[in-house]
Structure 1
Amino acid sequence: MQQELIRTVDLGPFKHVVDDGLELRKAAFECVDTLLDSCLDQLNPSSFIVPFLLSGLGDHYDVKMPCHLILSKLADKCPSAVLAVLDSLVEPLEKTIVHRPKGDAVKQEIDRNEDMIRSALRAIAALSRISGSDYSMKFKNLMNKITATPSLAEKYNSVRSE
């Protein structure tokens, strides 16, 4: 029987959500990142791009960040594997770059969200360098949305010049 990884804890009048699996998921993606750096020739990137990387791109901030880095590396080192699933990567990346924190968010939350947007834009920039990425209508629409939104276009141009 599998234990529930996300639970709600009552703290007096407040409820706090605890994700017991977060550290494990984060560590798993950091291991994948290390494997990409050290033994890419022994890996089949297609076997983990779709099911695992896709879920990581829609996960918590601490999981998304290494996933963006992994995606950037895969775009550079295994472009054909990434190109094969490019359409499925667009939605979670788009959700990340258009996400806005709540109106009562503290400065730390706002800063973390900005970091996450910049990280996603770095991954998108890496995807745009893949020859043939412009054949994906979903990716093309995402790029049009970025260039048509002044704040996103500014951040995108900034991360491309880094």
Structure 2
Amino acid sequence: MAATPGYERLARPVGLLDGHRPNLVRYVLSDPRARAAYPDRDRVADQQVAWLKGEVRRNDPHAAEPAADLTVLAGPAFVDRMAAPAGPTDRTGVDRMLHPEAGALRLAYEILDLPDADEQRLVVLLPADDATAAALDRLAGRRPGALRAV
């Protein structure tokens, strides 16, 4: 996983980037801090497992290892979701997050497929409302309304 400095400021304080190989599905299913960070943790977990399930079905070699690890690490919280009927995965939406420094955030996401042989994805997060935009500006030490990314 690669991340921008802005994402690191967002994710590191909640523990999402802890460990050798950070992984959102592992964090959401096995880290107790995820319940505090994601008020809709069960929905986020369902969504993340659905993405992983799709990768496992496509025989993605990078998905098999995390799936095997989560079977042991998260147990029924993961296994039951993997066994549930597959539905469509959301490519856009809004996730709520409670950040220890920035407070309540609403983050709009969009998942973009990259045109390469590795089938990588780019996940774009943007503030979903003015309050979140202002909180993220404070978190980044940025002047409100400044250019965020190019």
Tell me if TM exceeds 0.5. no
Shorter chain as denominator, the TM-score bin is 0.3 to 0.5
Give the number of the structure whose residues are more often helix, by fraction. Answer: 1
Give the number of the structure whose residues are more often strand, by fraction. Answer: 2
TM norm structure 2: 0.35
TM norm structure 1: 0.33
The structure whose Rg is larger is: 1
